[in-house]
Structure 1
Amino acid sequence: MTGNYGPAAAAAAAAAAGNTTGRTVYVGGLPADASVDELLNLVRFGPIENVRLLPERSCVFISFLDGSTAAAFHADAQVKKLALHGQELKIGWGKASQLAPTVQVAVANQQATRNVFVGNLADTTTEQDLRDELQRFGPIDQVKIVRDKNIGFVHFLGIATAMKVVKDLPLQAGWTDKRVNYGKDRCAYVPKAQQAAVQMAQQQALAAVHSQHAQIPGSPYASFTPMTPSFSNFSAPNTPSFGSPVFPSNGFPPMTGGFGDPSMAVSQMGNRNVYLGNIHPDTTTEELCNNIRGGQLQQLKHMQDKNCAFVTFVNAENAMSFYNHANSVGLTINTRKLKVGWGKHSGSLPSALLQAIQSGASRNVYIGNIPDFEVFTDAKLKADFAEYGEIEMINFLKEKGAAFINFMSIQSAQSAIEGVKQNPDYSALRISFGKDRCANPPRASTGTPGGPGLRASSMRNVSDSTPSPHPHPANDPIAQTIAAAEAKTNAALAASMQPPMAMASSPPAANGGGSTGSLDEGEIVEVAVKAEA
């Protein structure tokens, strides 16, 4: 049986990282009396997208979801001389192909597999009954019933077939009272006894690839998609439409997005929700956001009583990238190394929220044309905006008459922008969405005690009267540097504060005030980063 991810398999998977088209393996020389379920019993590397049978040629083509899984199976089968009924099988490569967009979406959003789960079965229903009833949808690999729970699992030969079953079967007579959904692909299962060895082999292979590639002068490993001569016939598009769930190529080191468990990696495809644990009790939400980079956030939930947080990105690829980066490089805040995992699957963004984000919505609200900061104080802004949702941080740029209110969610920021228009105190101010600083590119550690990235207070305007854990700029060289750098960039920032177009949903006020605008807070963040570096 293949599937324990030995050194050859792990190395092949690492070498095929990012390959989205070379995902089909040819298996020939099949005995005439062999069945497809017997063959697939030998596969334990990852979910299968489709199995194409050619009995007249005694062969099959097995298409996996991505190239790295296919490469691992291919390499392991060759090393172990895969055999069935005592007859050695021939292993080769099939034609390169892209994953069908409909399957890609179903896998990402619904965790679709070729395995259909059926619940609430009658006590008298047999495995043969299920096979006879469901084979009209397409060829079946295996049927299993768990009798004490009256549930069944029907593995088809393709995800597309299972998609049709899940969609149509619950609507048909005799099935309306049954539970129908996707189950886990049995070919993605790794026995517990093998999991430790699997993870070790994979990590060793990845480390070897990393070490070898790092020796190439000027080679940017972060975006490396390694290819060996064995895979030279594969195409590796610069911007693949469907990245490998195990080795995403997206600007971060391609590390452990479920690398120790390929099936887990696929199960998290499309998940935008990342779990952060072991957070220091004194760590603030602001400090968390100062260390989260690489993607805009939809929302953040910081449960300080449980020392954990759930970070939901707008984009699933950004979530996977952050997860990979945090696990490979490590994420330390206030001397605590955080545990990074996956939260409950987020599913896809609501369509209305997606449209708002595409129009510029973020969790950051910009307020411009502030005439008097003795009136518009930190306390006033908190009091006026807290009703719309929990606030992560308020940042001032007093020299330009601006402030930024960072909420914990985009929805709260949307409510704030709409609701504050009814407040006469803000009728003459410019209000719009700012840029989420978490969307800035990841950066190297600054070596501060708080861990990699920006200290929590370094984004605040150093002249703000709000108490700060850091000294006044008169006694703090870093604060002086930040203040000087911010002052130096005021001219550039002023140019970005030209009156922008109003939001489509925000008509201008009758008195000419209350117009909307935008200002990129990212420049302020980067100024602080460079100053501390």
Structure 2
Amino acid sequence: MSYANGYENYEYDASSSYPYQQVYQPQFVGYPGQGYYRQSAQELEHDSGDSSARQSPFDPQAEAPAPFQGDYGFQPFEQPEEYDRAFAQEYAREEAPSRAPVVRDELTTSAPSRTVYLGNIPQSLRANELLDYVRSGIIESVKILPEKQCAFISFIDCQSALLFHSDAILKRLSIMNHDIRIGWGKQSPIQPVVMNSITRDGATRNVYLGNLSVDMREEELHADLAKYGPIDTIKIIPEKGIAFVHFLLILNAVRCVQHLPLVDKYTDKKIFYGKDRCAFITKTQQHNAAQYLGLTPGMEHLVLTADREFISNALVQQSVAAAAIATSAGGANNLGNRTVYLGNLHQDSTIEEICNVVRGGLLQSIRLLSERHICFITFIDPISAAQFYAMCVLHGLTIHNRKIKIGWGKHSGPLPQALSLAVSNGASRNIYVGNIADFASFSADKLRADFGAFGAMEQINFLKEKNCAFVNFVNIADAIKAIDGVKSLPGFAALKINFGKDRCGNLPRLFQQAQPDAPEFRDA
């Protein structure tokens, strides 16, 4: 069925929204750089009831959006004086454009569009809340249609759109308990004036303002800049006298940079473009890209110096491989699962021993059921879970001289947004405790008692020559609680408390080059 509201035309086509569920039905499990292994669903059956239910928040048969139909964007204009007219026309269209033929969504190596459709969004969703979920590239424009419960996000390039599209489907994007439908918008060119500004000045939605007075307030900035267009976020750093204002469209930012310096109040201010907050590469993305590119542990920062398109392509290929691995072994409903099952464990196996062999991604939690000889490992990212599963299937996994059974656990669901943001800021299961002058006062028993109040721990390690210790929790949520709570305890105020590196996030030993082990601490 189709809708038209005089502002946009778009259609729904039940066969075009979930390409992974429809296309990713391979007969083989693969991993970058490795061979392939045929795996049947029967081979993955095991004795745990926890892995029997793989309920998906999506209905594979549900009606889903097809490519967006309509003339999406602004009418062409060349001269700067046409900014205002184009801006006015953007929100004043009275007739829907003619409908183009429906092009079915297909799995390709390049995006069929630079515009991604999001359906079933909450009616109360604000643009800044929506964009908190986007970390894939520079955005050209954002449009939300509350009455139709949908939104359109247009990137400046197709590769960024493809990365967001594949990532949202793989991770089963959910916003405010709404399972979001993902599709493609109609392909449309970037308007010449916007493209010229991007090419010439590096224009983005983000406007940087410098030389601001220390008493500048967000309300004042919003009142002064809102006339150029809807605003996404405003961030002021008073001590530096700077601010960053994200608009919903690059065109709005271009108008602001062009006209604001002519206002008396801002003639002496520095005004230019900043980096789009949606283009920052998260730590999880750095880690995944580093693994895909074969970078050794501790070298993830090199990803930041690489070409953005190159990194996006690597991340997209990882999503493709992860989707193939998850769905071929567990069916379409297993897409995005982050929980891997380990069976046939020795009764004396410990969580520490299990974590010593788990490699490839940050962990959210480990659940060991010793009496049933099984364990469930939930990764932060479904890509990491798929890679670990594939490596175990290809090369086997042995603990206590016993060959471990590998399968998928009950579907983990999407990673909570609060936890995702925490991980983006460096959170992990591992807490670094530095500046320890007296280890007698901060013994293992002392740390176990103080940190144990926040949750179960995996292990405690000391590096006395570095005057530090590492406390590893079983669940990352407990580590997040502990890192703030422990600072209020007597004696901890003088210590450096920060997140350390989860050793489970290192490359599999099979791919690590011979090199000395680096300390896993991080400065506060």
Pairwise TM-score range, normalised by the shorter structure: 0.3 to 0.5
Larger RCO (alpha carbons 8 Å, 6+ apart): 2
Report the TM-score when normalising by structure 1: 0.42
Greater C-alpha Rg: 1
Report the TM-score when normalising by structure 2: 0.42
